[in-house]
Each structure stands twice: as structure tokens, then as C-alpha cells.
């Protein structure tokens, strides 16, 4: 059992949602990340059960992938709470530019939400009676932030570091730099005095050195052959969608891959458009052999 401050509660969520971190002190209550849209009622129930008669005052989003901000809209409606997002995402959220936001591009969804302020690398926050610093964490997402409490030596790492890796390096899928940024983030974490990491997915952990070694090896593996990152991304997005809808005809999954920008870009890095059906069939079969999905005739099902 990892000792965390009494003012800090971690709701470890299963996919599709990110973990949520709830801070409660005498001044205000704050939730870091809100999970996926289909799990928003669960997120609200967890917050309500913990807060009781108190209201939620503030949401903080580490980044705006759908599994981290999908509960924003419901929580805002329930509590009329303020919301802080990464500053570089402010314009696209204000305009709700779905051609830039990642939801449609990944075949996922997120109900429209508002924000009341922004965070940038170097911002300081008071959460749970403790001082936290926002640290830039590009790589998985160019806008992502981590939160670090030097006094308690705790890092909320979002998808920059998990116990056994990190999130998909999405910028590389669309021709932008991501591997170098992920390397810099791992190097930054290595300079911090951290006793406990609360990742975006999975249980909090304390063996930071081992996690960094695992992540570094994983990054080296992907950089040697960027097609590995593309194939991993495509598989992750397929599994995520199936976990949401539970089953899809193969042709519907093929149509989604053609229409969702990031999925299409990943497929295009791996095969010519005319070879996309064979590529998708290969990915689905590999996922089925690994137990991540099931195949039933022409349908692909969540495991």
C-alpha cells in the first residue's frame, strides 16, 4: 500500500477511463482528469460518494485525450465547477474544432465542455493543501502536462510514464516529432526526487527507476522501426473502440479506419490504401491471438 497524503484520493480506473485523482482540503476540492464519456456516470458517482454534501470546485486536465476529459461535461453540469486545461489547447476547445481535437481523429467521442482557465509548464497549483508544479510532458501528446509535488515527492505522470511503459506516441503517426520529446520527458523525470508515481493508467507505483528503464527500452524499440509505433497505435485504437461498442462488423471497423484521421495515418504508414483490408485483418488476428479481441464470423468483439 503506497502512502499518499490524506487529502489525496486515487480512483484507479479500468480502460476506457484514465485514473482520477481527487484532492480535498478545507478550501476546495479538485479532480485531476475525468475519464471517458461512456464512464462519466461512474466518475460522477465516485466523486459524489467521496465528497458527500461538498461540491466539486475544480477540474484539472493533464491533457485532452478522450479518456482523460470525457467526464468534464457531466461534472460541469452537476457541479458548475471551474476547469483548467493546457494553455495550448485553449483555442481549439473554445471553438470546439473537431478537425483539430483528437476525438473524431481517433474514432472516439467526448461531449463538449467549457474551460475557465489554463495551465502551462511552470504553472503552480495548490491541491489538497500541497504545492504542485505543472511540468511539460510532450511525446504521447504535444500538449500534455504532469503534476509534481516536491514536498511529498509525488508525480502525477498522466500518460508520460506508466509502470510498464507509456502512452502511444501519437505525433509520430502524423509526421510530427514525438520520440525525441518522449525521451526528454523520461530524462526530466529521472532528475526529480520521486517516491511515488500516480500514472494515467494502472496502479500507483514506487519503483520509479525500474519504470524508467522499462520505458526507455520501449522507446528505443519503437524508434528503431517507427512502423512498430504505427502498428501499436492502430491496435490500441481498435481495442479501445471495441471496448466502447463491444462489437463491430469487420467492414465497419475498416470504414472507421478510413475515416478516423489518426487511424488512417497509422494504417498508411504500414500499407498502401488498397492493402488496408489485409492489414486490418492481420491486426485483428494478432489481437485475437493475444486475447485482446474475439472474432465471430464477420464480427470483431471485445474480449
The pLDDT value recorded for residue 56 is: 98
Residues β-bridged to residue 247: 301
* pTM value > 0.85: yes
Round to whole Å and give the CA distance between 196 and 210. Answer: 12
Mean pLDDT across 68-79: 98
301 sits in which H/E element:
strand 299-302
The residue among 58, 56, 59 whose CA lies nearest residue 45 is: 56
Q: Is 127 in a helix, a strand, or coil?
A: strand
pLDDT digit string (tens) for 183-233?
999 999 999 999 999 999 999 999 999 999 999 999 999 999 999 999 999
The pLDDT value recorded for residue 98 is: 82
The pLDDT value recorded for residue 243 is: 98
Q: Using the structure block, give the residue that is written with the C-alpha cell 504545492.
A: 131
Q: Is 287 in a helix, a strand, or coil?
A: helix
The residue among 181, 174, 202 whose CA lies nearest residue 67 is: 202
Q: Is the pLDDT of residue 1 over 90?
A: no
pLDDT digit string (tens) for 133-166?
999 999 999 999 999 999 999 999 999 999 999 9
Domain segments of the chain as ranges: 8-224, 226-302
The residue among 273, 191, 173 whose CA lies nearest residue 231 is: 173
pLDDT digit string (tens) for 167-181?
999 999 999 999 999
Residues 127-142 as b or e (16 or more Cβ within 10 Å = b): bbebebbbbbbbbbbb
Dihedral sign from CA coordinates of 143, 144, 149, 150: negative
pLDDT digit string (tens) for 91-113?
999 999 987 999 999 999 999 99
pLDDT digit string (tens) for 219-268?
999 999 999 999 999 999 999 999 999 999 999 999 999 999 999 999 99
Q: How many residues does the chain have?
A: 303
Query: Is 3.40.50.10490 the CATH classification of the domain at 8-224?
Result: no
33: its cell numbers? 482528469
The pLDDT value recorded for residue 101 is: 94
Round to whole Å and give the CA distance between 254 and 72. Answer: 30
The residue among 116, 187, 111, 152 whose CA lies nearest residue 2 is: 152
Q: What are phi and psi of 126, to 5 degrees?
A: -105, 110
Q: In the CATH hierarchy, which fold is given to the domain comprising 226-302? A: Arc Repressor Mutant, subunit A (1.10.10)
8 confidence band (pLDDT: 50, 70, 90): very high
Amino acid at each position: 500500500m503506497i502512502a499518499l497524503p490524506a487529502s489525496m484520493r486515487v480512483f484507479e480506473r479500468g480502460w476506457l477511463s484514465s485514473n482520477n485523482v481527487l484532492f480535498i482540503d478545507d478550501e476546495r476540492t479538485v479532480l485531476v482528469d475525468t475519464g471517458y464519456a461512456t464512464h462519466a456516470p461512474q466518475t460522477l458517482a465516485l466523486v459524489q460518494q467521496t465528497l458527500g454534501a461538498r461540491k466539486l470546485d475544480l477540474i484539472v486536465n493533464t491533457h485532452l485525450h478522450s479518456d482523460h476529459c470525457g467526464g468534464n461535461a457531466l461534472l460541469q453540469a452537476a457541479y458548475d465547477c471551474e476547469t483548467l486545461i493546457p494553455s495550448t489547447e485553449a483555442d481549439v476547445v473554445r471553438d470546439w474544432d473537431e478537425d483539430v481535437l483528437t476525438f473524431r481523429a481517433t474514432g472516439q467521442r467526448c461531449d463538449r465542455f467549457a474551460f475557465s482557465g489554463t495551465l502551462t509548464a511552470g504553472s503552480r497549483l495548490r491541491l489538497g493543501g500541497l504545492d504542485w508544479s505543472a511540468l511539460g510532458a510532450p511525446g504521447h501528446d504535444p500538449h500534455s502536462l504532469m503534476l509534481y509535488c516536491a514536498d511529498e515527492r509525488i508525480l502525477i505522470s498522466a500518460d508520460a510514464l506508466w509502470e510498464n511503459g507509456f502512452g502511444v506516441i501519437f505525433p509520430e503517426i502524423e509526421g510530427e516529432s514525438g520520440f525525441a520529446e518522449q525521451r526528454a520527458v523520461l530524462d526530466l523525470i529521472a532528475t526529480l526526487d520521486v517516491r511515488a508515481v500516480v500514472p494515467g493508467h494502472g496502479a500507483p507505483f514506487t519503483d520509479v527507476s525500474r519504470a524508467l528503464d522499462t520505458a526507455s527500452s520501449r522507446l528505443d524499440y519503437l524508434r528503431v522501426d517507427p512502423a512498430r509505433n504505427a502498428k501499436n497505435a492502430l491496435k490500441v485504437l481498435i481495442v479501445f473502440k471495441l471496448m466502447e461498442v463491444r462489437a463491430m462488423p469487420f467492414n465497419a471497423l475498416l470504414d472507421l479506419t478510413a475515416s478516423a484521421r489518426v487511424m488512417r495515418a497509422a494504417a498508411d504508414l504500414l500499407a498502401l490504401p488498397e492493402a488496408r483490408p489485409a492489414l486490418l485483418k492481420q491486426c485483428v488476428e494478432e489481437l485475437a491471438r493475444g486475447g485482446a479481441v474475439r472474432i465471430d464470423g464477420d464480427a470483431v468483439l471485445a474480449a
